[in-house]
Structure 1
C-alpha cells in the first residue's frame, strides 16, 4: 500500500487498514511505560506538591519534578467494569492527559542543565517518577544544529523530547494507531504547555528538526520509537525564538558522527512484537534531512451570523483541580441544563489557553489558525439548538444552522460508547483534508494531529474547569461527519470529535497517587 492510499484509508475507510482476523493478545500486552534494564544512574524526584504552581525564577529539580508530575506521571490506578452488566474488570494506569485506550504510546526524554544533577540526557521514568541518566554532557551546540540553528540552547535550562513508541498501542489498534499516536503526542504537549505557563517557563514547540540526529542523541531505535516534537524550556526573557535558519549546512549523519552510539536495554513486557511496516514507512517518509524557512499557512474562512461570547481576562479556577477531575466519560453522561454563561466561560478559558509559540507560525498564534472548531448545542439556556463555529480571533461563535443533531451524530459513531442523547455539546475538530502535505510533506499529517491534540486537550481542561468532562472520539464515520458539519466545501475533514457534558461517577475502583 502506498503512503497516500494509506492516509486516505486511515481517515475514510479504516476497515481497510486493519486485517479482518486481527486479535488483540492482552496476555502479551506491553507496559504503558518504558523501563530501562541497563544499570544507569537514577535521580529520584520529590512527591511533595502544593496545589498551586508558583512561578519559578531559578528552576530547580523540585520545579522540574512538579512539571513532570503534572505533565505525565502515573497519578491513578483504576479498575473498571468492562460493561454495565459485566463482572469482569480491567486495571489501567491513569495520567492527567488522555490516551486512546489508556495505552500512552508517548515517552518523555529531557536535556537538563540544573545545578543539582549532572548536565545531560535523561529519560522520565513515569512508573517511579524518577529520571534515568542516558548520556552526560553539554549538548547545546549539537541541539542548536539539530533544530536548524533556530533555538539558542545556551539560554534554555531544559529541552523536552516527546517520542512515540510504536508497539505500545499498535498491539491493540494495528495501523489505526498511527492517528492515535499523533493525537496522544499533542495531548501531552498541550498539558506541558499549560504546566509550563504556570511555572513561568517560556516554551516553544519545534515540529521540524533533524530526526536522525535527535534520535541518535537520545539513543532510541527508529525501528521501534521516534521523536515527534521538541519543547525547549527557558526563563530568559531576552531569548529569541525561531529565528531564520542560518546558512549552516549540516546533516543528521554529520551530527551523529560527533557522538558515540548508545544502546541501553529496555523492558516492555511483550514477548512477541508483531511487525508494523506501514508505521515505519510513514515515519521514514516524515524524516527531515534539511530544514526550510517556509512561512506559508492555510487560509481560514469566516462569515455571517455571530453570537458574542462574554470575555474575561484570566483563568481564575484551580488548574490542579481541573487536572485531577478530568477523565473521559462514556455511557455515564447525564443531560442537565447548561447555562450560556457556562459555555461562555468554557470558550473563554479555551481562548486564553490557545495561544502557543511554535516553529510554524513563529509567534504566539491561536491554534485555530490551522485547526477549526465547530460544535452542536442542545439545551443550552440562552442559546438556540444548532451548529456553531468558534471564532476565537473575535471571541464570537457563528451560527451555521438550527436543529437537534444528537441522533445524527449517534448514527455516525462506529460503536455506542457514548450516549449522544445525554450530551449538550459536541465539538468537531477539522483541518485541511490533504493534511498540509504540499507544505510539510507527509510530516504535515503528524503536525496536524499533534496540533489537534494540543487544542483538544485545552478544551478538555477548560471543560473540567466548568465541572464537566469530554470524551475524545475517533471511532466515527468521517464522511458522515464531514457532511454533517459542512466541511467539504472548505476542503476540510473531521479529525476528532469530543462530546462534552455533565456525568455521574463511573462505576470503578480507583486509587489516587496525587493526594
Structure 2
C-alpha cells in the first residue's frame, strides 16, 4: 500500500475526527500565520474592487474580466459578523475581524493563492503576478514573457498570447491548525476555488480548461517557489480554443520569488505533509488513462428538470456556511434537489477526460429526510440520466443520524437532506496513481462550492463537513469499501437562520 493509499485509509477508518493519525498537539493561535499573502516592495497593478465593479465587463479575456473574476472568487467581500450558537460575542471585536470571500475554505483559513501568467494582455505588462486580495492588486513576481516557461510543463503545450491562472497552496496557512489532516483540506480548497473561477469565467464568456497534471518542479521553478512551503496544485488555461501558436520550451527560470510577510515566529510544516505532496509530484506528464463514468445498476427514479442558475454579485455575498443554524423548515422540494445535484455535477473541461464531463473521480449520494414525495432513505445520483437510485432504507430511528457526525456544530435532524461526495479511490488510483488523491479531493471541493452557490441562489442553506464517522456514513449508503468511500458531507436545509440572527457589514 502506497503512502497516498495509507493516508486515504487513515481518513476512511479513523475512530475519531481528531485522531492521532491526523493531529498532534494543540493549536497555537497566538502564533497563527497571516490569512493574507502580501509581498512588500513589489511592483503592483491596482485592480477595481467592490463598488468599482458595478458593471459586468464585456465578454472575453481582458484585464477587466480577470479583475471581476478574481474579486468574486478571492476578494474580501464582507466582514464576518453572522451570529450563531457556536460562537461567542468576543470573536466579533474589531481586533479579530475576519472577512469572507466568494469561495469556501476549510476552517476559513484560505491557503489557496492565485497567480496570473500573462503575455500580451492589454493594460498589463507581461509577467507572473500574484493576486493580493488584501490590497486588491496584482503583485508582480517576475517580469517579461512568461508563457514559454510553461511549454514543457504538461502534455500538449502552452500557447502564444494565452493567459493562465495557477492555483497554489501555502501549506502553513492551513496545517498550523489541521496538522497532518491539512493535506485533505487544502486539496479540497483548490477544487472549491476552481469551481468558483469556472463559474464566473463562464458567465463572462471565457472558456477554461483545468490542468491537474503538470510537471510540478518545473512550474514551481518558473514561479520561484519552494515546493516545501508553497506548491502549484492546478492550472486554469483561459480561452484554450483561441488558436495561439504552440510555444517552444523557453527553459526554466532561476531564483526565488520575493518572500511574503510571515507573522508566525515558528513555521513547521509537518513532515508527513511534505512526504504526501512529494509522492504526488510529476516530472513526466504522459497522456492520462481514461476513467469511465460511474453507472448505477438498479432501477432509477427520474428527477424534475433542473432550473437554470445565473451568477451575480449578490450571490457571492449570500454564500456562507449554515454551521450552527440549520432549520429544516418546509424541507427541500424535488425541483430544488434536482437543481442542486445537476449544478454540482455539471460538465467542465479538464486534462483527465477527453470531452467536457462532470466530476469523474467522485460521485454523489443523497440521504433524503425532508423532501416531499421522496421516501426517507439513501439514494445514488446518476447524472447521465438525471435520476436517483435507491441505495438503502431509513436507519433505525432509535440510533438516529447524529451518530455519523463527531462534532456539535451541525444538528443532522434539522437537515432536509445530506449530500455525500463519494470518492472512487481504487478506480482513480488505477488511472492516475498518486496524483489521484489531489484530483479526487479537488473535484470534491468543486462540488462543495457549486452546491454552496446553487443553494444560495435557491434560498437554501448549505454546510460542508469533514468531521463525520466515515465507517457509519459509508454503511448508511451501502458503499463498497475500500474501493469507494465518502470524503465530504454537505448538509442542506430548507432555509437559513432567521433574519434576526444575522448581522452584515459589507463595507
TM-score (norm 1): 0.89
Find 2:59's aligned residue among 37, 56, 59: 56
Q: Does 1:302 align with 2:296?
A: yes
Q: Equivalent of 1:140, from 140, 147, 151?
A: 147
Inter-partner Cα distance in structure 1 for 2:55 and 2:385: 31
Q: Counterparts of 2:53 and 2:258 in 1: how far apart (Å)? A: 35
Distance 1:261 1:24, change over 3 A: same
Alignment of 1:274-285 (within 5 A): 274-285=268-279
Q: Is 1:376–1:405's contact at 8 Å kept on the other side of the alignment?
A: no
CA deviations over 1:263-312 (Å, ceiling 9, x no partner): 31211311111241111111111111111113331552312332212225
CA distances 1:187-223 after superposition (whole Å, capped 9, x unpaired)? 0000000011011111000011111111111111112
Cα-to-partner distance string for 1:126-175 (whole Å, 9 max, x where unaligned): 10111001111112322121123x1442252x100101111001111110
- CA deviation digits over 1:389-421, x for unaligned, max 9? 111111112222332688643111111110111
The runs of 5 or more residues in structure 1 that have no matched partner are none
RMSD across aligned positions (CA): 2.7
Shift in CA distance, 92/308, structure 1 to aligned 2, threshold 3 Å: same
Structure 1 segment 55-454 matched on structure 2, within 5 A = 55-57=58-60, 59-79=61-81, 83=85, 86-89=88-91, 91-113=97-119, 114-148=121-155, 150-154=156-160, 156=162, 158-234=163-239, 236-238=241-243, 255-256=251-252, 259-298=253-292, 300-311=294-305, 314-315=308-309, 317-337=310-330, 338-351=332-345, 354-367=346-359, 369-403=360-394, 408-434=400-426, 436-454=428-446
Structure 2 unmatched runs, 5+: none
Render the CA deviation track for 1:48-86: whole Å, top value 9, x for unaligned: 4556745514x3322111010011111122146684584
- Alignment partner, residue 12 of structure 1: 13
Name the SS of the counterpart of 1:381 in structure 2. coil
Q: Is the 8 A contact 1:219 1:262 kept in 2?
A: yes
Structure 1 stretch displaced more, 484-493 or 178-187: 484-493
Shift in CA distance, 318/118, structure 1 to aligned 2, threshold 3 Å: closer
Q: Which moved more, 1:27-36 or 1:408-417?
A: 408-417
CA distance in 2, matches of 1:208, 1:131: 26
Alpha-carbon distance change, 185 to 347 in structure 1, aligned in 2, over 3 angstroms: same
CA distance in 1: counterparts of 2:47 and 2:275, whole angstroms: 37
SS at match of 2:381: strand
Distance 1:504 1:293, change over 3 A: same
Determine the C-alpha separation between the residues in 2 that align with 1:336 and 1:87: 27
**Equivalence for 1:476:** 468
Match of 1:466 in 2: 458
Structure 2 contact 171–269 (Cα < 8 Å) conserved:
no
What secondary structure is seen at the aligned counterpart in 1 of 2:329? coil
Q: Return the alpha-carbon distance in structure 2 between the equivalents of residues 476 and 116 of structure 1.
A: 48
- 3-state DSSP class of the match of 2:210? coil
1:3 Cα deviation after fit: 5.1
| Deviation (angstroms), 1:319 | 3.5
Separation (CA, whole Å) in 2 of partners of 1:454 and 1:294: 20
Relative to structure 1, the CA distance from residue 50 to residue 222 in structure 2 (aligned partners, 3 Å threshold; closer, same or farther) is closer
Shift in CA distance, 301/447, structure 1 to aligned 2, threshold 3 Å: same
Q: Deviations over 1:447-499 (max 9, x none)?
A: 11001111221122111111012111000111111111111268211110001
- Cα separation, 1, equivalents of 2:71 and 2:481: 43
* More divergent stretch after superposition (81-90 vs 116-125): 81-90
Counterpart Cα distance in 2 of 1:181 and 1:385: 34
Structure 1 residue 505 displacement after superposition: 4.5
Q: Distance in 1 between matches of 2:33 and 2:87?
A: 28
| Mapped pair 1:503 → 2:506 | no
Please say if residues 192 and 448 of structure 2, whose CA atoms lie closer than 8 Å, have aligned partners that are also in contact.
yes
